[in-house]
Structure 1
Amino acid sequence: MAKKLPSPCIDVCKFRREGHCIGCSMTKAQKKMFKTLKRPEHREGFLTMLIHQQNDLGKYRHWTPAYLKKCAKKGMAPPPVLS
């Protein structure tokens, strides 16, 4: 069985940008929602949405390298949306 993509959270968790985390750009509701996503395609879709959200909000260039490092640490290949 394939491993699930890890959470986009990079363990910063400071909600200062209009309710968005300064580390990953997720809101508290989005963090809670990600935990309920079980299917890989749903998690990949969420990551695609999150990347667009980060681009719209700006100041999240640090997230991609941190998330790729998290995936590598868990022994996962990078998700296609980051390739």
Structure 2
Amino acid sequence: MNWIGSIFIYIVVWWVVLFAVLPWGVRRQENPEPGHDPGAPQVTHLKRKLLATTLITFVLWGIGVFLFLHYGLSLTMLEHAR
């Protein structure tokens, strides 16, 4: 795995984790103003969610890099494991 490939893997995993983290702590507005979506959250906590996404992705990516460097695990090995 070269460094460009590992950056792309990090970015893809970051987006997947972001979509998993976005629903955390969402509370709908009790009485939304006219014209507002009733499913929109009161407070998004987006900074916290972006930080959590970055930290979770870093841990997952680090585990993947560790497995690749120390055990030689690769995606092609997983493909042939069927």
Structure 1 length-normalised TM: 0.29
Larger % of helix: which?
2
**Larger Rg over CA atoms:** 2
The structure with the greater share of residues assigned to strand is 1
